[in-house]
Amino acid sequence: MASDKKMKIGILTAGGDCPGLNAAIRGVGKTAALKYGMEVYGFSSGYLGLVNNEYKQLTLRDLSGILTVGGTILGTSREKPFKHKEYDKYVRKKPDQIKENYDKLGLDCVVCIGGNGTMKTAMKLQEQGINVVGVPKTIDNDVWGTDMTFGFDSAVNIATEAIDRIHTTANSHKRIMVVEVMGHDTGWLTLYSGVAGGGDVILIPEIPYDRTILRDYILKRYDEGKPYSIVVVAEGIYVPPRKDGAKRNKSAGNYIAEIIEKDTGLETRPTILGYIQRGGSPSPADRILASELGAYTAQMISEGRFGEMAAQKNGKIISIPLKKVAGKLKTVPADLPLINQARSLDTCFGVRL
Ligand code: F6P
């Protein structure tokens, strides 16, 4: 006889925040409660909430009106419960505390919404006997196994709008404007916003740039009567250490602006977009993707499909084992068609054609 015990699920959001997190929480929570009759609990501040047993039951009232709200109503952190230097024998292992809290509350599953690091921790919790389902999110779109993560489309919109604005001031001053875009160690966000924003130069970590090619390209544009250029730079590109060994300002945008002005003699200014790329209300596309992934996650739980991550593949929502995702980074393939298409529009990637 089917057990009439209500399933209890926990939800947490971990890692960098992004637009769409609340849409995902709503997607999981409403589907779980309304379609599957589950009890839903929200843990605060990512995995820290699980370690410290900080949670509250999420009612349908809590879950309504949050689809369009940026950030995460649960809060987030970059807590990594399995990461520790050496354990003092007096300090209880955080994973043990999580298991104890999970059992005490009588949870059947924890939904872990996050990026690469979150998926890695989720896999380790599953190995500890804690049922988890992963939901991929990040503005970086660098989670292996899913074509797209929510947060990415919103960030592309934000960065593109910023680049559009930079065009007008570059034109007014006839300056070279460098725009630094987030993306951690990959170039997805820079590539998409760079193409959408009509960047003349796009530098991403996956395509190592040559400084002299950058110089020649910008001077060629200048000689052709195009005195201003827009240079879109991923924060994760290579920045050489300073000759004097002093710690270089980490910003890639500042470094590229510095060398362009030095090499070309043209007035150059950097703009670091930073955290505005993670703020505000999610785009419609992100609201849809987050809702789809959320609803599908509740279905996975109802079917007992734990240790997996919900994902989008070729326009379909599917799930893949966390073991296949954990520790893998989805980088921009050098032969991505978009790169060749941009090149045919004379976009410079810092390398000889
Ligand atoms: O992963 C999202 C992201 O915004 C990256 O693009 C960026 O490098 C990183 O988070 C910044 O981390 P933090 O929010 O800890 O400063």
> What are the extents of the domains in the chain?
8-150+282-325, 153-278
Q: Which atom of ligand 1 is nearest to the CA of 236?
A: 8
Tokens representing residue 17 in the block: 């925040």
* CA 20 to centroid of ligand 1, rounded, Å: 16
CATH topology of domain 8-150+282-325: Rossmann fold (3.40.50)
Rounded to an integer, the average pLDDT of 285-302 is: 98
Q: Which of 72, 76, 184, 330 has the most ligand 1 atoms within 8 A of CB, as the residue to mutate?
A: 184
Rounded to an integer, the average pLDDT of 228-244 is: 93
Which helix (H) or strand (E) is 337 found in, with range? Answer: helix 337-344
**Nearest CA residue ID for atom 1, ligand 1:** 16
* CA 272 to centroid of ligand 1, rounded, Å: 13
Please give the distance of CA 289 from its chain centroid, rounded to a whole number.
14
Please state, in angstroms and rounded to a whole number, the distance separating the CA atoms of residues 173 and 311.
Answer: 45
Decide if 309 contacts 136 (C-beta within 8 A).
yes
**pLDDT of 109 higher than 60:** yes
Decide if 146 contacts 312 (C-beta within 8 A).
yes
pLDDT band at 247 (very low <50, low <70, confident <90, very high): low
53-67, 185-199, 236-250: segment of lowest average pLDDT:
236-250
Q: Which atom of ligand 1 is nearest to the CA of 235?
A: 8
The rounded mean pLDDT for the chain is 95
Tell me whether residue 88 is one of the annotated catalytic residues: no
Rounded to an integer, the average pLDDT of 214-236 is: 97
Decide if 154 contacts 283 (C-beta within 8 A).
yes
Distant-in-sequence, close-in-space partners of 163: CB < 8 Å, separation ≥ 6: 179, 193, 194, 196, 197, 198, 199, 230, 232
Q: In what order do the strands lie in the sheet with 176-181?
A: 201-203, 229-234, 176-181, 268-272
If 0-12 CB within 10 Å is exposed, 13-18 middle and 19+ buried, where does residue 77 land?
middle
Listing DSSP states for 181-235 in one string gives E--TT--HHHHHHHHHTT-SEEE-TTS---HHHHHHHHHHHHHTT---EEEEEET
Q: Which of 140, 142, 200, 286 is catalytic?
A: 140
Count how many Cα atoms sit within 13 Å of the Cα of residue 307 in the half-sphere of its side chain: 9
Q: What is the pTM of this model?
A: 0.95
Quick check: CB of 183 below 6 Å from ligand 1? yes
Quick check: CB of 81 below 6 Å from ligand 1? no
Q: Which atom of ligand 1 is nearest to the CA of 278?
A: 4
pLDDT band at 293 (very low <50, low <70, confident <90, very high): very high
Distant-in-sequence, close-in-space partners of 50: CB < 8 Å, separation ≥ 6: 10, 12, 43, 81, 98, 101, 102, 110
* Residue 327 confidence (pLDDT): 86
**Nearest CA residue ID for atom 9, ligand 1:** 184
Rounded to an integer, the average pLDDT of 144-166 is: 98
Please state, in angstroms and rounded to a whole number, the distance separating the CA atoms of residues 215 and 167.
Answer: 19
Cα dist from 290 to 64, 178, 201, 313, whole Å: 15, 32, 32, 14
* Residue 1 confidence (pLDDT): 44
**Nearest CA residue ID for atom 12, ligand 1:** 16
Among the four given CATH numbers 3.30.830.10, 3.40.50.1220, 3.40.50.1100, 3.40.50.460, the one describing domain 153-278 = 3.40.50.460
Return the CA Rg of the chain: 23
* Residue 351 confidence (pLDDT): 96
* Residue 38 confidence (pLDDT): 98
Determine the residue type at 13: T
**pLDDT of 2 higher than 60:** no
**Per-residue pLDDT tens for 46-97?**
999 999 999 999 999 999 999 999 999 999 999 999 987 665 565 678 999 9
Quick check: CB of 184 below 6 Å from ligand 1? yes
* Residue 96 confidence (pLDDT): 93
* Residue 242 confidence (pLDDT): 79
Determine the residue type at 325: V
Please state, in angstroms and rounded to a whole number, the distance separating the CA atoms of residues 58 and 249.
Answer: 43
Q: Which atom of ligand 1 is nearest to the CA of 142?
A: 1
Quick check: CB of 16 below 6 Å from ligand 1? yes
Q: Which atom of ligand 1 is nearest to the CA of 189?
A: 6
Q: What's the full length of the chain, in residues?
A: 353
Please state, in angstroms and rounded to a whole number, the distance separating the CA atoms of residues 58 and 43.
Answer: 10
If 0-12 CB within 10 Å is exposed, 13-18 middle and 19+ buried, where does residue 118 land?
buried
* Alpha-helical segments (H) within 53-151: 94-105, 116-127
Distant-in-sequence, close-in-space partners of 56: CB < 8 Å, separation ≥ 6: 41, 42, 44, 62
Please state, in angstroms and rounded to a whole number, the distance separating the CA atoms of residues 98 and 110.
Answer: 11
Quick check: CB of 140 below 6 Å from ligand 1? yes
Rounded to an integer, the average pLDDT of 30-44 is: 98
* CA 136 to centroid of ligand 1, rounded, Å: 15
Q: Which of 17, 140, 204 has the most ligand 1 atoms within 8 A of CB, as the residue to mutate?
A: 140
Decide if 115 contacts 15 (C-beta within 8 A).
yes
Rounded to an integer, the average pLDDT of 121-147 is: 97
* Residue 222 confidence (pLDDT): 97
Domains 8-150+282-325 and 153-278 share a fold: yes
